């Protein structure tokens, strides 16, 4: 899978990388969602199991994992409009034939609703602690 779309995500407030990147947090949440986990809490619990930790290190070079609270804080920092754009680009690189469908859906959504169009992996959205919708799971 291509994860470059999430390399340059900007945050709502200053963030200097600490030991876990925003991209890695997004990757972790997407993988957890694809594994049918229904909440960030469940995703975190899954992430810290030994076999998943080894998998993340081997396949994604994610060597350090955030605690649950820090995972939530990092998700809340992400600028939702940039994450949404990254999600659309990511889906388009994985499934190019969905590109026009996403564009059509977004256009229709924008005409009807007063809130931004979001791309969700499995019909769930993560709501940050701010008043924004972060559109991952």
The pLDDT of residue 17 is 53
| pLDDT tens string 27-54 | 888 888 888 888 899 999 999 999 999 9
Task: Please state, in angstroms and rounded to a whole number, the distance separating the CA atoms of residues 63 and 37.
Answer: 21
Q: Name the residue among 26, 20, 21 with its Cα closest to residue 136.
A: 26
- The owner of tokens 């930790």 is 53
Confidence of residue 126 (pLDDT cuts 50, 70, 90): very low
Radius of gyration of the chain from its Cα atoms, rounded to whole angstroms: 15
The pLDDT of residue 106 is 75
Dmax of the chain from CA atoms?
47
Q: What is the mean pLDDT of residues 93-118?
A: 73
């Amino acid at each position: 899978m291509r994860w470059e779309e999430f390399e340059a995500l900007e945050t709502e407030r200053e963030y200097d990388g600490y030991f876990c990147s925003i991209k890695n947090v997004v990757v972790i949440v997407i993988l957890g969602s694809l594994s049918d986990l229904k909440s960030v809490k469940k995703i975190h619990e899954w992430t810290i199991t030994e076999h998943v930790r080894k998998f993340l290190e081997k396949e994604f070079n994610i060597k350090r994992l955030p605690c649950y609270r820090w995972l939530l804080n990092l998700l809340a920092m992400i600028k939702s409009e940039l994450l949404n754009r990254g999600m659309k680009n990511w889906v388009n690189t994985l499934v190019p034939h969905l590109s026009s469908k996403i564009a059509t859906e977004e256009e229709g959504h924008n005409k009807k609703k007063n809130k931004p169009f979001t791309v969700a992996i499995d019909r769930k959205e993560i709501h940050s602690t701010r008043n924004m919708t972060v559109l991952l799971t």
